[in-house]
Chain A
Amino acid sequence: MIVADRLKKYYGKNCGVEDVSFSIAPGEIYGLIGPNGAGKTTTIRIILGLLKMDSGSVSIGGAGIPEHLGRVKSSIGYLPGEVNFYGEMRVKEFLKFNRGFYSDDLQGSEEELVEYLAIDREKKFKELSQGNKKKVGILQALVHHPKYLILDEPTNGLDPLLQNKLYQLLERERNRGTTILFSSHVLSEVERLCQRVGVVRNGELVKELSMEDVREIAIRKITVTGNRDLSVLDKYSVTYSDESSRVYSVRNSELNEFLKKLTALEYTDVEIKRPPLEETFMEIYGGGEQE
């Protein structure tokens, strides 16, 4: 179990996090979502003992952090948002170095992940693309079958194929009973993977949502082109309009009804988009100062 209780961290006068509390049970994937600069990474770095908190407490598997971090370190897997390993090392050298931290024989598990993620072991780390660096990052986070998995914006820089592979790996880990915390600003992946999410904004965990809540707040931007009389859709919020088209902001729960009304009309084109999380949050929780 990972438990964070009233975490507070300031960088000088600037707020990193102000009041963040949550707990994650074994076999659960908990998503920490929020716009850039909301305090997700600061929260993760406090949990990992990389940053000192000003107040609050964290425990992983009952071990208080940072005092007893050593007791659980071998059970933690961590994927940073920006993967930085040793540029001059070849991937195979890095993997050997990484194996050296664990007493278990990891070669079988390493081999499986290298093959699954199609990692080139001969290249130097500095020669890898961002996506390939991330693959190595995923491998080192998962290879020792951690009980606690912490991922900071794991799909950043990954192509859709690799994103799917990562989702499958996370599902597998969850089924093994791993406690998973991951941060994201992509609502669709949170919807797909998590059991619960914590919404972080301006350093505070403003709301904890079930997946039903997430689906409820998820918004679609629907652009309708080519109909002059759209009065039947007037109850929905319009975020843009010109002579030929209108953009509606429609909640997921209202989507069916909206589409039914729309199909009764004549139009030349329709486009449905998932807006970025920031935009969704602006609409749901309003604007406000960010970190």
Chain B
Amino acid sequence: MSFINVFKKEVRWNLKAFLIWTAIFVAFALMYIPITDQMLQRSDEIIKLLDMMPKFIRQMFNLEEELLTRPEGIFGSEGMSFVYILSAIFSSMLAGSLFAKEFEQKTIEYLIVKPGSRVTVFLSKSLVMILYLVALSAVFVFSITRLFDIFVNASYNQTILLGFGLYALSVQMFFAGVATIVAVIGQKSSLNISVSIGLVIFMYFGDTLSNSFEVISWVGKLSVFHYIPLVKTIVEERVVVGNSILIMLLSLGLLAIGMLIFRKVDVKV
């Protein structure tokens, strides 16, 4: 009873944020994908420019020749970088709204005293979070495949586009897990956003830099992006499904840790 009650409340009160973020993702794809054909037509000029750049700069910014001569490569190089960052921000905001905000606005006290265990409250909120993350990724995949279909005349690999959706979901799940732990420990949504943005920047640039500089290759191994490599996926035309599933399982593990903390944590209001 409490599970359904909290679940319904969270679905309803987070719907607006979900719709706004869905619109941002779709708008982003809509801004990027229609120029794909024109970018391809000018790829020779871009490649000439790239040839003048040092290799490490090209690696750092995903400016590989093979990427810029394929439609899915053009979206996958720069477009997906932004999608990753947006995904991390969305996940941490959602976790903040579901958990940290309850502490911040002191409504957690009401929720915990009402019938239903802390675990019930946590699970119903987590389910809403996963539901919205899956829904956002589904809308994202649907919008990019439809937009490619409408605007891109050059041939492309549809499976890679589906893979982008899977990668975006993996990133969202991972950062949702991290942000949930930060939310139940820190009990502040501002802390949540700061930690998540800091971590996404560290992981994203850590991964790209580690591709260019051997001395910091360990940083890349700490990054979630290392295990869902965009360049490799496009070049080898192979989606790393296994790693994506492992990242999602790891994220569920992070949520489980969050739940254990939530079960015991003092409500400091």
Contact = CB atoms under 8 A, between A and B. Distances in A.
Interface of A: 45, 48-52, 69-70, 73-74, 76, 78, 80, 82, 84-89, 97-98, 100-103, 140
A73 B114 contact: yes
B121 to A, nearest CB: 11
Interface stretch (B47-55, B104-112, B126-134, B252-260): B104-112
A84 B13 contact: no
Contact of B13 (A45, A70, A73, A88): A88
Given A52-B264, A100-B5, A101-B5, A85 B112 contact: no
Contact of B2 (A52, A69, A89, A101): A101
| Residues of A contacting B: mostly | loop
A8 B269 CA distance: 19
Q: Which 10 A-B pairs have the closest CB atoms?
A: A100-B5, A84-B106, A74-B115, A50-B267, A101-B114, A73-B115, A78-B113, A101-B115, A51-B266, A70-B117
B1 A103 contact: yes
B232 interface: no
A97 to B, nearest CB: 6
B100 to A, nearest CB: 15
Contact of A97 (B9, B264, B266): B9
B109 A97 contact: no
Nearest to A49: B112
11 contacts: A50-B266, A51-B267, A70-B117, A73-B115, A73-B116, A80-B110, A84-B109, A87-B105, A88-B13, A97-B9, A100-B5
Q: How large is the interface on B (under 10, 10 to 19, 20 to 34, 35 or more residues)?
A: 20 to 34
Contacts of A89: 13
A97 B2 CA distance: 10
Nearest to A70: B117
A50 B1 contact: no
Nearest to B113: A78
A29 B1 CA distance: 31
A76 B115 CA distance: 9
A254 B107 CA distance: 47
A12 B106 CA distance: 21
Contacts of A80: 109-110
A29 B105 CA distance: 30
A103 B1 CA distance: 8
Given A86-B13, A100-B1, A52 B266 contact: yes
Contacts of B117: 69-70
B23 to A, nearest CB: 20
Given A86-B107, A100-B9, A101-B114, 18 more contacts: A49-B112, A49-B113, A50-B113, A50-B266, A50-B267, A51-B266, A51-B267, A69-B117, A70-B116, A70-B117, A86-B105, A88-B13, A100-B1, A100-B4, A100-B8, A101-B5, A101-B116, A103-B1
A97 B105 CA distance: 17
Contacts of B269: 84
Contacts of B113: 48-50, 73, 76, 78
A84 B107 CA distance: 6
A91 B264 CA distance: 31
A89 B13 CA distance: 9
A106 B5 CA distance: 15
